[in-house]
Structure 1
Amino acid sequence: MKSDASLPLDGQRILELAARSMFDLFANASEGMLLVDKHARVVWVNEQYKRFLPALGFQRVEDFVGHPVSEVVHNTQMHRVLETGKPILIDLLSNRAGTFVVSRIPLRDEAGNVIGVLGIVLFDHPETTLQPLIHKFAALQRDLDDARRELATQRRSKYTLASFIGSSPAAVEVKRQARRASQSCSPVLLLGETGTGKELLAHAIHAASARSRAPFVSVNIAAVPDTLLEAEFFGVAPGAYTGADRKGREGKFKLADGGTLFLDEIGDMPLALQPKLLRALQEGEIEPLGSNKVVPFDARVIAATSRDLAALVREGRFREDLYYRLNVLPVKVPPLRERRGDIPALAEVLVEDIALRNGSAPFELEAEAVAVLASQAWRGNIRELRNVLEQAAMRSDSPRIAAAHIEQVLRDAGIERLPPVVMPRIRTVEGGASEALRPLAEQVAEVERRAIEAALQATGGNKVAAAKMLGISRAKLYERLEGGTLGFALRGAPPAYA
C-alpha cells in the first residue's frame, strides 16, 4: 500500500498495519482470494480459493497459477480493472465452479501505477445466502426486459402499404412508387402537403423493406428547438457539458442503426446544421456532441417535407448538395383533392378508427354526407377530413351522420364549401347488376365531372375562380375539361365553360 508522507511516522505505521489487518481479514473471512500481476497472470491464490480449482478443471495449483486469468477463470473481469484502474466492488460471476458474489480491487505502487488486481470471492452459493438480493435483482431484470420489449415495439413500423387507403389512379401510383422504394437502401424523399400521409408511407416503406425487423426511429425537425437538434441527431458524449448525463446519450442516428431513420419536415433543418447532416449521410458516421471520436452507423434515411425544397435551394436556405443527397428516390404524395374517389373509403376507415379510439359504437355516414365530403377541397387533406368527421360525431345525438351535420361543422370552421356532389344511387340494371358496380374509374370520373360542373355554375363559368374553388390549378382544370386522363368532356356545356 502507498504510504502517506503527510502522516507522522507513527501514523504511517498504523496505516500499514491497518492495511495488513484488512488483507488478513479478507483472506480469512472471504470464500477465496486470488492475485494477478500487471500482465493479468495469476500469481497467487489463498487456501480457500484452492477448493474451486477442480470445478474449474485444474487438479494442481501449479496448473492454475502462472496462466492468464482470462484462460483459467471464465467470465472474469480482472483484465478490465487492470485497463481502467477502477475497482468493481460488487459483481456476480458465473462459471463452471458456480455463481459467486465477487469484488475486484486494483493494487498500485508508490507512483500510483496499477501493478495488479486482487480478486475476492465474498460469497458462494448466493442463491441461498443472498436470496433477498437475488430476488430483487431478478425483479429489476424482468422490469428492464419488459421496458426494452416495449421500446422495441414502439420503434417498429405502425403501418404497411395496405394502411394507405385508396384505389384511385393517384393512390395506386404512390403505393407503386413506395413499394419500389422499399426494395432499395437509397434515401427516399417524400413530397406533399401536410396531412397527406407522408409519415404513414415512411412506416410502410420500412415495413416492406429488408430492415423491417430493425428499429424505425423518427424525428420531427420542426418540433425540436434548433439548439437541441445536434444532440438529438448525433447524441451527447459523457460529460460533454455542465448538466450532461455522465453516461452520455445516444442520438437518433445511432438508435436507428440497422433500421430506418425518418426525418420529418426536413425543409425546416437549420442551415448551420445541414453540413453535418450531409457528412453523416455521405460517410455513414457521426460525431457525438462533445466527443472527438466518430461512431459508425447503418441507417436508411427517409426524409419528408411539405415545403418546396427546390425553391429553398434557389433562395439559399437549403444546401444544394444536401438536396441532391436526399432527392434520390422522390415520391410525390398527392393531396386529397386529386383523389376524390378515395374519400368514401377513407371516410369509412376514419369513422371506424374514431369510434375505436373513443370506445363507442361506429356511426354511419349517410350517402348525402359522403357527397358533401367528396365535394370539398380539403386544404388540410386527410388530417382535416378526420377533424371534420370527429366533430360531426361529437355533435350528433344519432348513430347516423347526415349531410346537415357535416355542413354545420364546415360552416362553423369557416371552410369554403363547394356544392355537394350527387353520388350515384344504387339501382339495378338489366341482368340484376347494380349500377354502382361499374368500373371505379368511371365512377370517379363522374364525381369529378359533377364537381367541376357545380364549380363552374357557382362562378358563372369563370375557370380561374372555379379552379381556385376546387383547389386545383387552372391547367389541371383545362385538362379535365378537354378529356385528359379521365377521358371525359363537358359536351353540351354553356359557351362560358369553353
Structure 2
Amino acid sequence: MLQYIIQIDFVNSPGLGYEIFRITEKNNVDKIAMEVIPEQGMIIQFQCAKEEQAQSLVADLTELENITAVTFRTQMPYQEKEIELRTILNSVSEGVLAINKKGIVSHINEVACTILGCKLEEAIGLPVEELVGESPPILETLHFGDAHRLKERRIKRNGRTVQFLSSNIPIRNSRGRIIGAVSTIQDFRQVEKVILQANKSSRLITFDDIIHQSQQMARLIASARAVSRISSTVLLRGESGTGKELFANAIHTEGSRRNRPFIPINCAALTESLLESELFGYEEGAFTGAVKGGKKGLFEQANGGTLFLDEIGDISPRLQVRLLRVLQEGTVRRVGGDKDIRVDVRVIAATHRNLEEMIQSGNFRDDLYYRLNVIPLTIPPLRERKADIPLLSQHLIRKICAEINKPEAHLAQKSLELLVAQEWPGNVRQLENTLERVINLIDNAEIRPEHLAAWTDITEAVTLRSTGPISKNHQTLQVEIPIAGDWPPLKEIVASVEKEIITRVLKKHPSSRLAGQVLGVSNTTILNKIKEYKI
C-alpha cells in the first residue's frame, strides 16, 4: 500500500466536511490520521493501492466549491512538531528526560542517553525506573508535585556505575493537574569541571571597584582594608545581592596573599557529597567514577591563598565538623584517605542567614561559628544606603551598554528619584537586572519613568484629575490618598492607586478582558490584581 499526506485549504461552509469524506470513500482510500488547521483547513494521511487513486482524490477535492487548494505534504503537523521538539532538546547542554502521567519515558535527548548509557529507541516507552533506578525523584515529583533540585543518583547500568545529578519539575495542564514530569540531568564529573573552570575565571577586584558614595560604605571599606593586611578569618554578613563576593575578592587582592589563588565556591549550589569532594578532594578509588590518581580539593588548590566559602550557613552538620577541623588544625584529609595534609589557607566565609538563630535551633555548630566569626563585617542593604543608588545606577548603565554594544544611556531626574524610592529587596543584583531589562527593551538614550513602569515591577504613584469617564485614550481619574502623619511607603501608595483605578474601570467595563484593554494590560494581569487586592 502507498501512503500519502494531503493538505486541504478551504473556506468553511456547512456540510463541507461530509463532502470531503464522501469523496475519500468514493476513491476507495483508507484514512490513517487527520488533523484540523483552525480557520484554514485539514490535513489527511491515507493509504491506497495505486498512485492513480491519490491523483483522482486530489482532482475530485479540487472541484468542490469552497476548497481553495489541495497540496501534498511529506509529514503530518504532529510529526513536524516532534522533530522540532527533538531538535530543541538535543541543542541543550544538559540531559533532558520527560515522563507521562503513567511514569513512562515520553522524551529523552541525546545528552541524557550519553549520561545514562542507553539508546534513544530503547529508552522511549520504558518505565522510568528501568532507566534511572528504583524510586527516582522524578516519580516523587510526578506523584506529589514537589520540585527537586540537584538530587544525586548512583545507578548500575550495563555493568558500570553511573553517577549524576537530577533536577525535577512537574508538568501541569491548564487546570493545574499533573500530567507528567521533566528531569534535567547533569553528569557528576562534568559538574566538577564546570566548578573548577568557574573558579579559574574569577578576576581580581580591589576596593576601588566597589562603587559607593555613602558614609556607611566608606566606613565599611576602611575597615575591610585594615582587615586585608592580616590573615584572620573573616565572616561577611549581608542580604543576597549586597556584594559579599566583591568584598571577599577585594580583601584578598589588597592583602599579602594577592599573588596566590583566590578560589570562591557557593556552598548552597552543590549536594553534600559533591561539596565534600570539591573542598577536601579524594583519593583514587574513593568512590566509583573518581579520577585516577585522586584529586586535590579546593583547600589544597588554594594553599597560600584565600578560599571564599559563600552561603556557609547552608552546609550540612557533617561538613561543619570537617570544616571545623581544618580551621582548628590547618590540615585536610581527602575523601577515602588516611593522611592529613597541611594547608595554609585564609578562609573568608559569607552568609545571608541568621547564624545565631541557627545555633539556637541546632542547625549550626556554635564552635564553628566562633571560628568563622573572628572578624565580622556586615554589608548594609541598598535600602539603607540610598545615597549610593545614583552613582551605582549610572555605573551599571555604562557597564550594561558596553556589554550589549548600545550607546550609553542616562537616567532622567524623575527616573532616578523613582529608583531611589524603591526598597530593592534583591539589592544591587536586583537593581542591575532591572536596568539591564529596561536598556535592552528601549531605543531611547534617556531612561524615563514610563520605561521603568512599563518594563519592570516599578510603578509610580500618580494623581490623575478627572471630569469624565476613564477610557483607553483619555485617562481621567482623581484618586485621594489619605495620609496621617508621615508618608506611607511608596509601595502602599502605588497599591492604593492601582486598586482604586481597577475597581472604577471594572464598574464601567465588568470583565477582566475589557478592563485589560482599557488599561493596556493583559487579561491575566487584571485577574491577578483582582485576586491580590480582593476586589
Select the residue among 386, 393, 414 that pairs with 2:432: 386
Q: Distance in 2 between matches of 1:325 and 1:284?
A: 12
Q: 1:141-182, CA deviations, whole angstroms, 9 ceiling, x for partnerless residues?
A: xxxxxxxxx979946643110111112111111111211210
> In the alignment, is residue 460 of structure 1 matched against residue 483 of structure 2?
yes
Deviation (angstroms), 1:468: 8.8
Select the residue among 374, 377, 390 that pairs with 1:328: 374
Deviation (angstroms), 1:463: 6.2
Structure 2 residues not aligned, in runs of 5+: 1-195, 463-479, 494-535
Q: Secondary structure at the match of 1:286?
A: strand
Q: Distance in 2 between matches of 1:418 and 1:318?
A: 43
> In the alignment, is residue 249 of structure 1 matched against residue 295 of structure 2?
yes
Q: 1:295/1:353 Cα in 2 relative to 1: closer, same or farther (>3 Å)? A: same
In structure 2, what is the equivalent of residue 426 of structure 1?
none
Q: Distance in 2 between matches of 1:291 and 1:256?
A: 19
Q: Distance in 2 between matches of 1:357 and 1:396?
A: 16
Range with bigger deviation, 389-398 or 283-292: 389-398
> In the alignment, is residue 338 of structure 1 matched against residue 384 of structure 2?
yes
Deviation (angstroms), 1:332: 0.5
Q: Distance in 2 between matches of 1:276 and 1:248?
A: 19
Select the residue among 246, 262, 281 that pairs with 1:235: 281
In structure 1, what is the equivalent of residue 237 of structure 2?
191
CA contact (8 A) 1:156 1:215 kept: no
CA contact (8 A) 1:262 1:303 kept: yes
Q: Distance in 1 between matches of 2:295 and 2:482?
A: 59
Range with bigger deviation, 350-359 or 216-225: 350-359
Q: 1:300/1:469 Cα in 2 relative to 1: closer, same or farther (>3 Å)? A: farther
Q: 1:310-363, CA deviations, whole angstroms, 9 ceiling, x for partnerless residues?
A: 111111100000001000100000000111111110011100111121122221
Q: Distance in 2 between matches of 1:376 and 1:283?
A: 47
Deviation (angstroms), 1:460: 2.2
> In the alignment, is residue 308 of structure 1 matched against residue 308 of structure 2?
no
Q: Distance in 2 between matches of 1:293 and 1:246?
A: 18
More helix by share: 1
Q: Secondary structure at the match of 1:167?
A: coil
CA contact (8 A) 1:234 1:251 kept: yes
CA contact (8 A) 2:449 2:460 kept: no
Q: Secondary structure at the match of 2:208?
A: helix
Letter in 2 for 1:313: I
Q: 1:383-436, CA deviations, whole angstroms, 9 ceiling, x for partnerless residues?
A: 1101110111112121221121112233xx3x5x5759xxxxxxxxxxxxxxxx
Q: 1:447-492, CA deviations, whole angstroms, 9 ceiling, x for partnerless residues?
A: xxxxxxxxxx96723669649969xxxxxxxxxxxxxxxxxxxxxx
CA contact (8 A) 1:364 1:400 kept: yes
CA contact (8 A) 2:233 2:373 kept: yes
Q: How does 1:281-300 map to 2 (within 5 A)?
A: 281-300=327-346
In structure 2, what is the equivalent of residue 182 of structure 1?
228
Q: How does 1:355-374 map to 2 (within 5 A)?
A: 355-374=401-420
> In the alignment, is residue 203 of structure 1 matched against residue 249 of structure 2?
yes
> In the alignment, is residue 272 of structure 1 matched against residue 306 of structure 2?
no
Deviation (angstroms), 1:296: 0.8
CA contact (8 A) 1:235 1:251 kept: yes
> In the alignment, is residue 159 of structure 1 matched against residue 205 of structure 2?
yes
Select the residue among 220, 223, 230 that pairs with 2:269: 223
Q: Secondary structure at the match of 1:331?
A: strand
Letter in 1 for 2:355: L
Q: 1:211-249, CA deviations, whole angstroms, 9 ceiling, x for partnerless residues?
A: 011000011000011221110110011222222111211
Letter in 1 for 2:274: L
Greater length-normalized contact order (CA 8 Å, ≥ 6 residues apart):
1
In structure 1, what is the equivalent of residue 98 of structure 2?
none
In structure 2, what is the equivalent of residue 396 of structure 1?
442
CA contact (8 A) 1:218 1:264 kept: yes
CA contact (8 A) 2:241 2:429 kept: yes
User: Runs of 4 or more off by more than 6 Å in structure 1?
Assistant: 150-153, 467-470
In structure 2, what is the equivalent of residue 434 of structure 1?
none
Q: Secondary structure at the match of 2:264?
A: strand
Letter in 1 for 2:217: A
Q: Distance in 1 between matches of 2:200 and 2:335?
A: 26
Q: 1:155/1:354 Cα in 2 relative to 1: closer, same or farther (>3 Å)? A: closer
Q: 1:368/1:466 Cα in 2 relative to 1: closer, same or farther (>3 Å)? A: closer
Q: Secondary structure at the match of 2:308?
A: strand
Aligned residues: 281
> In the alignment, is residue 349 of structure 1 matched against residue 399 of structure 2?
no
CA contact (8 A) 2:199 2:264 kept: no
Letter in 2 for 1:375: A
CA contact (8 A) 1:159 1:207 kept: yes
CA contact (8 A) 2:199 2:263 kept: no
CA contact (8 A) 1:375 1:418 kept: no
CA contact (8 A) 2:421 2:490 kept: no
Deviation (angstroms), 1:190: 0.5
Letter in 2 for 1:180: A
Q: Distance in 2 between matches of 1:242 and 1:161?
A: 44
Q: Distance in 2 between matches of 1:389 and 1:468?
A: 19
Identical-residue share of aligned pairs (%): 41
CA contact (8 A) 2:461 2:490 kept: no
Q: How does 1:11-50 map to 2 (within 5 A)?
A: none
With normalisation by structure 1, the TM-score equals: 0.53
Q: Distance in 1 between matches of 2:451 and 2:329?
A: 55
Q: Distance in 1 between matches of 2:438 and 2:490?
A: 28
Letter in 2 for 1:382: V
Letter in 1 for 2:208: A
More strand by share: 2
Q: Distance in 2 between matches of 1:469 and 1:179?
A: 40
Select the residue among 216, 220, 228 that pairs with 1:170: 216
Q: Secondary structure at the match of 1:362?
A: coil
Q: Secondary structure at the match of 1:184?
A: coil
Q: Distance in 1 between matches of 2:270 and 2:399?
A: 29
Q: 1:248-275, CA deviations, whole angstroms, 9 ceiling, x for partnerless residues?
A: 1111111111000000000101112101
CA contact (8 A) 2:453 2:460 kept: no
CA contact (8 A) 1:372 1:419 kept: no
Q: 1:66-100, CA deviations, whole angstroms, 9 ceiling, x for partnerless residues?
A: xxxxxxxxxxxxxxxxxxxxxxxxxxxxxxxxxxx
Q: 1:464/1:326 Cα in 2 relative to 1: closer, same or farther (>3 Å)? A: farther
Q: Distance in 2 between matches of 1:385 and 1:372?
A: 12
Q: 1:469/1:213 Cα in 2 relative to 1: closer, same or farther (>3 Å)? A: farther
Q: Greater CA radius of gyration, 1 or 2?
A: 1
Q: 1:157/1:461 Cα in 2 relative to 1: closer, same or farther (>3 Å)? A: farther
Q: Distance in 1 between matches of 2:482 and 2:222?
A: 37
